[in-house]
Amino acid sequence: MEKCVVYLDDVLIFGKTVDEHNDRLNQVLKRIKEAGLKLSPEKCTFLKQEVRYLGHIVTKDGIATDPDKIASIKSWELPNCKKELQTFLGFCNYYRRFINNYAVLSEPLSSMLKKENRFKWTDATKTSFYALRKTLTSPPVLSLPTKDGKYVLDTDASHNAIGAVLSQIQNGEEKVLYYASKTLTKSQKQYCITRKELLAIYTFVLKFKHYLIGKQFVVRTDHQALKWMLNWDSPNTSQYCIWKAELEIFDKLVEFRKGKEHINADALSRLPDCEQCLIKHYDPLKKRNVKVYPVEINNENKSLYSEKVINNLRDYENEWQQERDLDIKIILNALREGNLHMKFKRNLKI
Protein backbone atom coordinates (compact mmCIF):
# COMPACT_ATOMS: atom_id res chain seq x y z
CA MET A 1 0.00 0.00 0.00
CA GLU A 2 1.58 3.30 -1.14
CA LYS A 3 -0.46 5.45 1.26
CA CYS A 4 1.71 4.73 4.30
CA VAL A 5 5.00 3.44 5.67
CA VAL A 6 4.93 0.42 8.00
CA TYR A 7 7.67 -0.95 10.26
CA LEU A 8 6.46 -3.75 12.55
CA ASP A 9 3.63 -2.09 14.52
CA ASP A 10 4.57 1.51 13.64
CA VAL A 11 2.44 3.02 10.85
CA LEU A 12 3.19 6.42 9.30
CA ILE A 13 0.49 7.96 7.08
CA PHE A 14 1.33 11.08 5.08
CA GLY A 15 -0.20 13.54 2.63
CA LYS A 16 0.55 16.88 0.99
CA THR A 17 -2.81 18.37 2.01
CA VAL A 18 -5.30 17.81 4.83
CA ASP A 19 -7.79 16.24 2.41
CA GLU A 20 -5.18 13.85 1.00
CA HIS A 21 -4.06 12.97 4.53
CA ASN A 22 -7.62 12.24 5.70
CA ASP A 23 -8.43 10.20 2.60
CA ARG A 24 -5.35 8.00 3.10
CA LEU A 25 -6.06 7.75 6.83
CA ASN A 26 -9.55 6.40 6.12
CA GLN A 27 -8.16 3.82 3.68
CA VAL A 28 -5.59 2.60 6.21
CA LEU A 29 -8.14 2.42 9.05
CA LYS A 30 -10.45 0.45 6.78
CA ARG A 31 -7.69 -2.08 6.07
CA ILE A 32 -6.90 -2.39 9.77
CA LYS A 33 -10.57 -3.02 10.57
CA GLU A 34 -10.86 -5.65 7.82
CA ALA A 35 -7.84 -7.46 9.27
CA GLY A 36 -9.45 -7.56 12.72
CA LEU A 37 -6.74 -5.42 14.32
CA LYS A 38 -7.13 -2.73 16.97
CA LEU A 39 -5.26 0.51 17.67
CA SER A 40 -4.36 2.07 21.00
CA PRO A 41 -5.73 5.67 21.00
CA GLU A 42 -3.02 6.81 23.44
CA LYS A 43 -0.34 5.91 20.89
CA CYS A 44 -2.04 7.58 17.90
CA THR A 45 -1.41 11.16 16.74
CA PHE A 46 -3.02 12.92 13.78
CA LEU A 47 -2.37 15.92 11.50
CA LYS A 48 1.20 16.50 12.68
CA GLN A 49 3.72 18.58 10.71
CA GLU A 50 6.61 17.01 12.60
CA VAL A 51 6.81 13.33 13.51
CA ARG A 52 9.31 11.20 15.43
CA TYR A 53 9.71 7.92 13.56
CA LEU A 54 12.32 5.20 14.05
CA GLY A 55 14.89 7.52 15.62
CA HIS A 56 14.33 10.30 13.08
CA ILE A 57 12.46 13.59 12.91
CA VAL A 58 10.39 13.83 9.71
CA THR A 59 9.16 17.28 8.62
CA LYS A 60 8.18 19.00 5.38
CA ASP A 61 11.78 20.24 5.13
CA GLY A 62 13.40 16.82 5.31
CA ILE A 63 14.72 14.15 7.67
CA ALA A 64 16.91 14.75 10.72
CA THR A 65 18.19 12.64 13.59
CA ASP A 66 16.09 12.53 16.76
CA PRO A 67 17.80 14.79 19.36
CA ASP A 68 16.58 12.54 22.19
CA LYS A 69 18.35 9.56 20.62
CA ILE A 70 21.52 11.52 19.86
CA ALA A 71 21.78 13.14 23.31
CA SER A 72 23.32 10.04 24.86
CA ILE A 73 26.26 10.05 22.45
CA LYS A 74 27.57 13.40 23.73
CA SER A 75 28.74 11.76 26.95
CA TRP A 76 29.78 8.42 25.40
CA GLU A 77 33.20 7.51 26.79
CA LEU A 78 35.90 5.48 25.07
CA PRO A 79 34.80 1.81 24.94
CA ASN A 80 36.76 -0.59 27.15
CA CYS A 81 36.41 -3.72 25.02
CA LYS A 82 35.49 -4.88 21.53
CA LYS A 83 31.88 -5.54 22.52
CA GLU A 84 31.42 -1.96 23.73
CA LEU A 85 33.06 -0.66 20.56
CA GLN A 86 30.67 -2.78 18.47
CA THR A 87 27.75 -1.15 20.29
CA PHE A 88 29.09 2.32 19.53
CA LEU A 89 29.71 1.55 15.85
CA GLY A 90 26.29 -0.07 15.57
CA PHE A 91 24.69 3.13 16.85
CA CYS A 92 26.74 5.26 14.43
CA ASN A 93 26.03 2.93 11.53
CA TYR A 94 22.27 3.42 11.97
CA TYR A 95 22.74 7.13 11.24
CA ARG A 96 25.50 6.76 8.64
CA ARG A 97 23.39 8.36 5.89
CA PHE A 98 23.83 11.65 7.80
CA ILE A 99 27.63 11.31 8.04
CA ASN A 100 29.73 12.32 5.07
CA ASN A 101 32.57 9.80 4.47
CA TYR A 102 31.44 7.51 7.28
CA ALA A 103 33.56 4.60 6.01
CA VAL A 104 36.72 6.72 6.19
CA LEU A 105 35.96 8.12 9.64
CA SER A 106 35.12 4.72 11.12
CA GLU A 107 37.83 2.65 9.40
CA PRO A 108 40.40 2.85 12.27
CA LEU A 109 37.71 1.72 14.74
CA SER A 110 36.50 -1.08 12.47
CA SER A 111 40.08 -2.35 12.21
CA MET A 112 40.21 -2.68 16.01
CA LEU A 113 37.41 -5.27 15.83
CA LYS A 114 39.37 -7.66 13.63
CA LYS A 115 40.47 -10.89 15.30
CA GLU A 116 44.11 -10.43 14.40
CA ASN A 117 44.23 -6.94 15.93
CA ARG A 118 44.62 -6.29 19.63
CA PHE A 119 42.16 -3.94 21.30
CA LYS A 120 44.33 -0.91 22.01
CA TRP A 121 43.60 2.79 21.79
CA THR A 122 46.03 4.88 19.72
CA ASP A 123 46.04 8.51 18.63
CA ALA A 124 44.48 7.51 15.29
CA THR A 125 41.66 5.46 16.83
CA LYS A 126 40.91 8.10 19.46
CA THR A 127 40.72 10.76 16.74
CA SER A 128 38.31 8.54 14.81
CA PHE A 129 36.09 8.00 17.87
CA TYR A 130 35.87 11.69 18.79
CA ALA A 131 35.32 12.73 15.15
CA LEU A 132 32.37 10.35 14.82
CA ARG A 133 30.93 11.47 18.14
CA LYS A 134 31.21 15.14 17.19
CA THR A 135 29.70 14.59 13.74
CA LEU A 136 26.68 12.79 15.17
CA THR A 137 25.95 15.53 17.70
CA SER A 138 25.46 18.09 14.91
CA PRO A 139 24.17 16.15 11.88
CA PRO A 140 22.66 17.89 8.83
CA VAL A 141 18.99 17.85 7.83
CA LEU A 142 18.63 15.70 4.71
CA SER A 143 16.03 16.81 2.19
CA LEU A 144 13.22 14.63 0.89
CA PRO A 145 13.21 13.79 -2.85
CA THR A 146 10.66 15.36 -5.19
CA LYS A 147 9.21 13.92 -8.40
CA ASP A 148 10.51 16.61 -10.75
CA GLY A 149 13.95 17.46 -9.38
CA LYS A 150 17.04 16.29 -11.27
CA TYR A 151 19.35 13.98 -9.34
CA VAL A 152 23.10 14.58 -9.01
CA LEU A 153 25.46 11.84 -7.83
CA ASP A 154 28.96 12.89 -6.72
CA THR A 155 31.41 10.01 -6.33
CA ASP A 156 35.03 9.72 -5.26
CA ALA A 157 37.60 7.11 -4.22
CA SER A 158 40.66 6.89 -2.01
CA HIS A 159 43.05 4.10 -1.07
CA ASN A 160 40.76 2.63 1.61
CA ALA A 161 37.22 3.64 0.69
CA ILE A 162 34.76 4.96 -1.86
CA GLY A 163 32.12 7.58 -1.15
CA ALA A 164 29.15 9.37 -2.70
CA VAL A 165 26.67 12.18 -2.11
CA LEU A 166 23.21 11.97 -3.67
CA SER A 167 21.64 15.39 -4.22
CA GLN A 168 18.66 16.80 -6.07
CA ILE A 169 18.01 20.15 -7.71
CA GLN A 170 14.96 21.62 -5.96
CA ASN A 171 13.78 25.16 -6.80
CA GLY A 172 17.16 25.90 -8.35
CA GLU A 173 19.08 24.78 -5.26
CA GLU A 174 21.07 21.59 -4.79
CA LYS A 175 19.79 19.69 -1.73
CA VAL A 176 21.59 16.71 -0.16
CA LEU A 177 19.44 13.57 0.16
CA TYR A 178 21.94 10.95 1.25
CA TYR A 179 25.59 10.43 2.21
CA ALA A 180 27.05 7.01 1.45
CA SER A 181 30.45 5.36 1.73
CA LYS A 182 31.99 1.90 1.70
CA THR A 183 35.31 0.51 2.90
CA LEU A 184 37.22 -1.35 0.19
CA THR A 185 38.08 -5.02 0.49
CA LYS A 186 41.67 -6.22 0.51
CA SER A 187 41.59 -7.03 -3.21
CA GLN A 188 39.82 -3.78 -4.13
CA LYS A 189 42.56 -1.78 -2.39
CA GLN A 190 44.95 -3.16 -5.03
CA TYR A 191 42.98 -1.49 -7.84
CA CYS A 192 44.50 1.50 -9.59
CA ILE A 193 42.79 4.82 -8.87
CA THR A 194 40.92 4.81 -12.20
CA ARG A 195 39.44 1.44 -11.42
CA LYS A 196 38.48 2.56 -7.90
CA GLU A 197 36.76 5.65 -9.28
CA LEU A 198 34.84 3.46 -11.71
CA LEU A 199 33.92 1.10 -8.87
CA ALA A 200 32.54 4.07 -6.92
CA ILE A 201 30.21 5.01 -9.78
CA TYR A 202 29.12 1.39 -10.28
CA THR A 203 28.51 0.79 -6.56
CA PHE A 204 26.52 3.91 -5.77
CA VAL A 205 24.47 4.08 -8.96
CA LEU A 206 23.20 0.60 -8.06
CA LYS A 207 22.73 1.56 -4.40
CA PHE A 208 20.49 4.49 -5.35
CA LYS A 209 18.80 2.76 -8.29
CA HIS A 210 15.34 3.16 -6.72
CA TYR A 211 15.87 6.93 -7.05
CA LEU A 212 17.68 6.98 -10.40
CA ILE A 213 16.08 4.31 -12.58
CA GLY A 214 13.99 5.74 -15.41
CA LYS A 215 15.27 9.31 -14.92
CA GLN A 216 18.13 11.25 -16.42
CA PHE A 217 20.71 12.19 -13.80
CA VAL A 218 24.22 13.60 -13.57
CA VAL A 219 27.27 11.73 -12.27
CA ARG A 220 30.03 14.12 -11.19
CA THR A 221 33.60 12.93 -10.75
CA ASP A 222 37.01 14.54 -10.37
CA HIS A 223 38.61 11.81 -12.54
CA GLN A 224 38.49 13.04 -16.12
CA ALA A 225 39.14 9.65 -17.77
CA LEU A 226 35.76 8.34 -16.60
CA LYS A 227 33.96 10.69 -19.02
CA TRP A 228 35.01 8.56 -21.99
CA MET A 229 35.50 5.21 -20.22
CA LEU A 230 31.77 4.82 -19.50
CA ASN A 231 31.06 5.34 -23.21
CA TRP A 232 33.91 3.15 -24.44
CA ASP A 233 32.75 0.57 -27.00
CA SER A 234 35.85 -1.67 -27.03
CA PRO A 235 36.58 -2.77 -23.45
CA ASN A 236 39.20 -5.49 -22.93
CA THR A 237 38.43 -6.66 -19.39
CA SER A 238 35.53 -8.84 -18.32
CA GLN A 239 34.99 -6.87 -15.11
CA TYR A 240 34.65 -3.62 -17.03
CA CYS A 241 32.18 -5.30 -19.41
CA ILE A 242 30.02 -6.45 -16.48
CA TRP A 243 30.00 -3.02 -14.82
CA LYS A 244 29.25 -1.27 -18.11
CA ALA A 245 26.42 -3.70 -18.96
CA GLU A 246 24.72 -3.17 -15.59
CA LEU A 247 24.99 0.61 -15.93
CA GLU A 248 23.56 0.64 -19.47
CA ILE A 249 19.96 0.77 -18.21
CA PHE A 250 20.58 4.13 -16.49
CA ASP A 251 20.21 7.46 -18.31
CA LYS A 252 23.31 9.16 -16.93
CA LEU A 253 25.45 12.12 -17.93
CA VAL A 254 29.04 12.01 -16.67
CA GLU A 255 30.56 15.38 -15.82
CA PHE A 256 34.09 16.22 -14.75
CA ARG A 257 34.55 18.58 -11.81
CA LYS A 258 37.91 19.78 -10.52
CA GLY A 259 39.01 18.31 -7.21
CA LYS A 260 38.92 21.67 -5.42
CA GLU A 261 35.24 21.98 -6.39
CA HIS A 262 34.49 18.33 -5.55
CA ILE A 263 34.71 18.81 -1.80
CA ASN A 264 31.47 17.05 -0.81
CA ALA A 265 32.60 13.66 -2.12
CA ASP A 266 36.32 14.41 -2.23
CA ALA A 267 37.02 14.35 1.49
CA LEU A 268 38.14 10.83 0.68
CA SER A 269 41.77 11.66 0.08
CA ARG A 270 42.69 11.93 -3.56
CA LEU A 271 45.68 9.88 -4.65
CA PRO A 272 47.91 10.08 -7.76
CA ASP A 273 47.15 7.69 -10.61
CA CYS A 274 49.11 4.45 -10.60
CA GLU A 275 51.08 3.17 -13.58
CA GLN A 276 48.83 0.29 -14.51
CA CYS A 277 45.17 0.97 -15.20
CA LEU A 278 42.55 -1.69 -15.85
CA ILE A 279 42.26 -0.45 -19.42
CA LYS A 280 45.96 -1.11 -20.06
CA HIS A 281 46.33 -4.35 -18.16
CA TYR A 282 45.14 -7.72 -19.43
CA ASP A 283 46.25 -11.02 -17.95
CA PRO A 284 44.37 -14.00 -19.45
CA LEU A 285 46.30 -16.63 -17.47
CA LYS A 286 46.38 -14.97 -14.04
CA LYS A 287 43.24 -16.73 -12.83
CA ARG A 288 44.76 -20.11 -13.74
CA ASN A 289 47.94 -19.55 -11.72
CA VAL A 290 50.11 -20.37 -14.75
CA LYS A 291 53.36 -18.50 -15.26
CA VAL A 292 54.32 -18.36 -18.94
CA TYR A 293 57.65 -17.44 -20.52
CA PRO A 294 58.21 -16.73 -24.23
CA VAL A 295 58.90 -20.06 -25.98
CA GLU A 296 61.46 -20.76 -28.72
CA ILE A 297 62.02 -24.01 -30.64
CA ASN A 298 65.63 -25.06 -31.21
CA ASN A 299 65.71 -27.65 -34.00
CA GLU A 300 69.26 -28.78 -33.19
CA ASN A 301 68.73 -30.13 -29.67
CA LYS A 302 64.92 -30.14 -29.61
CA SER A 303 65.01 -27.88 -26.59
CA LEU A 304 61.63 -26.20 -26.33
CA TYR A 305 62.29 -23.44 -23.87
CA SER A 306 63.97 -20.08 -23.53
CA GLU A 307 63.65 -17.42 -20.87
CA LYS A 308 64.66 -14.56 -23.17
CA VAL A 309 62.10 -11.78 -23.08
CA ILE A 310 60.97 -10.42 -26.44
CA ASN A 311 61.69 -6.72 -26.07
CA ASN A 312 58.97 -5.37 -28.29
CA LEU A 313 56.17 -7.31 -26.60
CA ARG A 314 54.80 -7.03 -23.09
CA ASP A 315 54.49 -10.17 -20.96
CA TYR A 316 50.74 -10.23 -21.05
CA GLU A 317 50.77 -9.84 -24.86
CA ASN A 318 53.03 -12.89 -25.09
CA GLU A 319 50.67 -14.85 -22.86
CA TRP A 320 47.68 -13.79 -24.91
CA GLN A 321 49.31 -14.80 -28.19
CA GLN A 322 50.42 -18.15 -26.76
CA GLU A 323 46.87 -18.91 -25.68
CA ARG A 324 45.74 -18.31 -29.27
CA ASP A 325 48.48 -20.48 -30.83
CA LEU A 326 47.01 -23.96 -31.38
CA ASP A 327 50.32 -25.84 -31.07
CA ILE A 328 51.42 -24.06 -27.89
CA LYS A 329 47.94 -24.31 -26.39
CA ILE A 330 48.11 -28.11 -26.63
CA ILE A 331 51.33 -28.04 -24.59
CA LEU A 332 49.87 -25.60 -22.04
CA ASN A 333 46.77 -27.73 -21.49
CA ALA A 334 48.84 -30.91 -21.19
CA LEU A 335 51.08 -29.31 -18.56
CA ARG A 336 48.11 -28.04 -16.56
CA GLU A 337 46.51 -31.49 -16.57
CA GLY A 338 49.80 -33.31 -15.86
CA ASN A 339 49.45 -35.55 -18.93
CA LEU A 340 52.85 -34.97 -20.56
CA HIS A 341 55.41 -37.78 -20.72
CA MET A 342 58.13 -37.07 -18.13
CA LYS A 343 60.97 -37.14 -20.68
CA PHE A 344 59.12 -34.62 -22.84
CA LYS A 345 58.18 -32.55 -19.78
CA ARG A 346 61.81 -31.99 -18.77
CA ASN A 347 62.38 -30.08 -22.01
CA LEU A 348 59.59 -27.62 -21.26
CA LYS A 349 59.49 -24.67 -18.93
CA ILE A 350 56.36 -22.61 -18.35
What are the extents of the domains in the chain? Answer: 4-48, 68-137, 151-266, 286-345
Chain segment 80-90, per-residue pLDDT in tens? 999 999 999 99
Q: How far apart are the first and last CA of the chain?
A: 63
**pLDDT at residue 205, rounded to an integer:** 94
**pLDDT at residue 153, rounded to an integer:** 94
**pLDDT at residue 283, rounded to an integer:** 41
The angle subtended at Cα 183 by Cα 274 and Cα 192, nearest 5°, is: 10
**pLDDT at residue 9, rounded to an integer:** 84
CA dihedral 288, 292, 297, 301 (to 10 degrees): -100
**pLDDT at residue 259, rounded to an integer:** 53
Chain segment 265-314, per-residue pLDDT in tens? 444 334 333 333 433 333 443 444 444 444 444 444 433 333 443 344 44
Second CATH level (architecture) for the domain 68-137:
2-Layer Sandwich (3.30)
Nearest to 198 by CA among 242, 233, 251: 242
Second CATH level (architecture) for the domain 151-266:
2-Layer Sandwich (3.30)
Can you count the helices (H) and strands (E) in the chain? 13, 10
Which stretches in the chain have pLDDT values below 50?
260, 262-314, 316, 342-343
In sequence order, the 6+-apart residues with CB closer than 8 A to the CB of 278 are: 191, 192, 194, 195, 198, 237, 239, 240
What DSSP state is assigned to residue 142?
Answer: B
